[in-house]
């Protein structure tokens, strides 16, 4: 047992893992409702669905960071470099996506929503600066975080399952970059499957692993009993 995996790390990891899975499930439901509300498939999702999606992302991103922080504490000493790199990419993901979506939710509507540069900067459609940064976050930083975290899980059938799910989610997210290459954002839906549908399964299973992993303090107490 890693001495860094304290009771606090365990609790943070469990709450983050299950919270992330639940909020992402809610995100998928809201996204589905927003898409069903469209009469033009090329149009942007409108309110209230769009604002709900922005708020959910702002809640998901911190949980993503805290999950990977707990994962870094849980990782064995021989794998700390992998867990540290995964945590760094998680921080990059959260920082970029929070800046993008908080700006879209606030500044874009308050200042330049009706100006010509508004669409180029803030519109959540391709091409725009906001959309490009979001792709950087979820189709570059996310898959790197997932792929570096995958080797941490080995041994038991549950951990091996998590490993393959993380690899699948990372590769699918990377495949979402094909939307940029082909200049067709329909292809980015491949990436959405990776981080919005496949990864939450891994997060929930990681929560189970944390639940089954005694904290270092518990190990010491049992050893002294």
DSSP 198: I
**Span 8-48, pLDDT tens digits:** 999 999 999 999 999 999 999 998 898 888 777 666 777 88
pTM: 0.87
Tokens of 208: 């189970």
Task: Judge contact between 75 and 152, C-beta under 8 A.
Answer: yes
Sort 146 into a burial class: Cβ within 10 Å, 0-12 / 13-18 / 19+: buried
**Span 81-91, pLDDT tens digits:** 999 999 999 99
Distance of alpha carbon 131 from alpha carbon 179, whole angstroms: 12
Q: Provide the sign of the torsion angle of the four alpha carbons 93, 169, 174, 124, taken in this order.
A: negative
The domain ranges of the chain are: 7-218
């Amino acid at each position: 047992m890693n001495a860094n995996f304290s009771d606090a790390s365990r609790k943070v990891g469990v709450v983050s893992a299950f919270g992330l899975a639940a909020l992402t499930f809610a995100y998928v439901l809201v996204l589905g409702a927003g898409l069903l509300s469209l009469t033009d498939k090329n149009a942007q999702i409108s309110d209230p669905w769009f604002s709900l999606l922005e708020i959910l992302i702002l809640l998901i991103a911190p949980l993503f960071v805290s999950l990977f922080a707990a994962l870094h504490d849980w990782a064995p000493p021989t794998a700390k470099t992998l867990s540290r790199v995964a945590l760094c990419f998680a921080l990059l993901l959260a920082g970029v996506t929070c800046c993008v979506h908080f700006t879209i939710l606030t500044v874009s509507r308050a200042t330049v929503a009706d100006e010509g540069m508004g669409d180029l900067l803030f519109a959540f459609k391709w091409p725009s600066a906001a959309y490009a940064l979001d792709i950087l976050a979820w189709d570059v930083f996310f898959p790197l975080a997932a792929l570096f975290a995958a080797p941490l899980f080995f041994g038991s059938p549950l951990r091996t399952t998590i490993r393959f799910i993380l690899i699948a989610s990372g590769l699918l997210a990377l495949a979402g970059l094909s939307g940029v290459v082909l200049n067709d954002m329909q292809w980015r839906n491949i990436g959405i499957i990776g981080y919005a549908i496949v990864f939450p399964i891994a997060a929930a299973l990681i929560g189970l692993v944390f639940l089954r992993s005694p904290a270092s303090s518990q190990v010491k107490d049992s050893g002294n009993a």
